[in-house]
């Protein structure tokens, strides 16, 4: 699933609807969705004023090491994930294959833990060392994924390029980027930068005088 679609599905509005109409059996599903929505917001602070405009405190820039969002990320969100994992691990009467289907994949679980702790510690470090505010969206690795995804596409089945091949591909990408038209990407990550619009002029070129080849008889 693409990131933007996942953010729409796992949003607070969806959680509230499930909570309202899903009944008691859907309570934990609604809670999980609302937790993920807050998690997305805390890690995607993009501007100084988006939080005020959308009236969402989680989108405000980080300016203090005592920001309550740090506690939410490390205790509420990660605590919920750990409790979920512990409950699955302690269930009786199921084998390892069956319990693995009741929880996130190992890679996803570790990725959430590492990402959350890294963002919290990096943000606190920057604030403690004089940075006035931190926009957590700037930690996003989508531009890196997009760039090396293009390298993989150029390399096709060659997954172990030499330094020369990598340099040649990098040159091609730079040339394409400088001449690229504004297009909508089809990947599952956010585009890293805005491409400049290019105006195409259809004015006919001036005809050049054709040089005729003169031969001399000897």
pLDDT in tens, the chain (218 residues): 677 888 889 999 999 999 999 988 999 999 999 999 999 999 999 999 999 999 999 999 999 999 999 999 999 999 999 999 999 999 999 998 899 899 999 999 999 999 999 999 999 999 999 999 999 999 988 788 888 888 888 877 777 888 988 888 888 888 877 766 555 555 555 555 555 555 666 778 777 777 666 666 65
Residues counted in the chain: 218
Entry pTM: 0.71
Rounded CA separation 179/172 (Å)? 11
CA-CA distances (angstroms) from residue 66 to 58, 115, 120? 14, 19, 11
Query: Could you give the residue ranges of the DSSP H alpha helices within the chain?
Result: 3-9, 12-21, 27-42, 50-54, 68-71, 78-89, 96-100, 106-128, 142-155, 163-179
Rounded CA separation 153/149 (Å)? 6
The DSSP secondary-structure symbol of 102 reads: T
């Amino acid at each position: 699933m693409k990131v933007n679609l996942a953010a729409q599905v796992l949003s607070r509005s969806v959680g509230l609807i499930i909570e309202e109409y899903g009944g008691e059996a859907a309570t934990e599903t609604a809670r999980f969705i609302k937790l993920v929505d807050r998690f997305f917001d805390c890690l995607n602070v993009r501007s100084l004023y988006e939080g005020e405009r959308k009236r969402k405190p989680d989108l405000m820039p980080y300016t203090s090491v005592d920001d309550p969002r740090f506690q939410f990320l490390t205790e509420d969100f990660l605590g919920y994930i750990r409790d979920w994992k512990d409950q699955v691990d302690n269930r009786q009467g199921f084998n390892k294959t069956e319990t693995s289907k009741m929880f996130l994949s190992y890679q996803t679980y570790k990725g959430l833990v590492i990402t959350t702790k890294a963002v919290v510690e990096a943000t606190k470090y920057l604030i403690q060392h004089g940075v006035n505010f931190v926009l957590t969206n700037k930690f996003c690795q989508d531009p890196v994924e997009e760039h090396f995804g293009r390298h993989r596409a150029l390399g096709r089945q060659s997954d172990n390029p030499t330094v020369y091949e990598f340099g040649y591909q990098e040159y091609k990408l730079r040339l394409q980027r400088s001449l690229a038209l504004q297009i909508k990407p089809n990947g599952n990550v956010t585009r890293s930068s805005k491409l400049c619009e290019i105006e195409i002029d259809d004015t006919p070129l001036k005809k050049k005088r054709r040089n005729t080849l003169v031969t001399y008889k000897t």
